[in-house]
Amino acid sequence: MAPGRVNGVLLLWVGRRAPEPFEALAGEFGARLARHLPFATVRLRPAAGRGGDPRKALAEEADAIRRHLVPGDAVVALDESGRERSTEELASWLGERRQRGRTVFMIGSDLGLDGGLKAEAHERLALSRLTLPHALARVVLLEQLYRACDLLAGGQYHRTSLG
């Protein structure tokens, strides 16, 4: 890892603030995650003029996301057609990935993520094959990242099935 590089997690998400119960859960799991590794989240505003040309709006949102990326980042696009991982697989991947630098997760707006941005990502991750509301996807991602980190640390939060 290059000197001065942070091996934590950055969550970039495009959207408006969610209803308070979602924001509270996102804040809770973000705080728990930050006990295990450097963590930051950045909310980006949806592009203006979304009703006129959705492709232009997606391109503007992609440019805003790219401004937060630096060489060496492992960029993960959340996409329901991406790769699904079990909790254990996510933990293993994240544990190995942390040795090499920062991991950046991207959640698009209600329009999704720009196709070019998804193509540039190192990985596309599906939380589910279902389309999730963005506020819920953010909470689920943060909870799973916390669960993965706690599992790596030998914590008791994650319990494997007994059957």
Q: Which residues pair with 107 in a beta bridge?
A: 13
Closest CA to 147 of 98, 107, 95: 95
- 1 pLDDT more than 60: no
Express each pLDDT in 132-161 by its tens digit.
888 999 999 999 999 999 999 887 777 664
**Entry pTM:** 0.91
Task: Please report the domains of the chain, with CATH numbers, ordered by start residue.
Answer: 9-152 (3.40.1280.10)
More reliable by pLDDT, 77 or 130: 77
Residue 12 token pair: 């970039």
- For residues 67 and 94, the answer to whether their CB atoms sit within 8 Å is no
Express each pLDDT in 79-103 by its tens digit.
999 999 999 999 999 998 888 889 9
